[in-house]
Amino acid sequence: MSPPSAFTARRCFTARPHQDCLTHRQLGDGRAMADRLGIAVVNDFRSADMAAGGKGAPLSAIYHAALLKPDRRGSVDRRAQSRRCHNITFVDADGRPLAFDTGPPMRR
């Protein structure tokens, strides 16, 4: 099977995360988008990551590592997600990321 000539990777928004961190509700329909656009769509990374034992954010560490320039390796990058967790990513001198979520924010 040859790779598609056009595709999109679509982030689904987590509308209803649960405190047990094992269940969630995603918004977005990758199949409908693929049908309408006529291209392959890759979506719902969160469910696949959680099924593999992750916490549902498989791309954040890779993204953060790419943001840290090589001269800043060995330092920490942190990103806030509005009303959600903060992500902390450490990138070692060889460019390997080690990432964490700080946990759910306090609700007011």
Give the per-residue pLDDT at 2. Answer: 46
- pLDDT of 1 higher than 50: no
Residue 93 in domain: yes
Q: Are residues 82 and 44 in the same domain?
A: no
Q: Are residues 79 and 99 in the same domain?
A: yes
Residue 12 in domain: yes
Residue 66 in domain: yes
3-state secondary structure 15-73: CCCCCCCCCCCEECCHHHHHHHHCCEEEECHHHHHHHCCCCCCCCHHHHHHHHCCHHHC
Domain end marker among 56, 75, 97: 56
Domain range for 14: 7-56
Q: What is the pLDDT of residues 20-29, one digit of tens each?
A: 455 555 667 7
Higher pLDDT, 16 or 27: 27
Q: Are residues 89 and 107 in the same domain?
A: yes
Stretch 91-106: mean pLDDT = 73
Q: What is the pLDDT of residues 43-62, one digit of tens each?
A: 777 777 778 877 676 777 77
Reported pTM: 0.46
Q: Are residues 29 and 66 in the same domain?
A: no
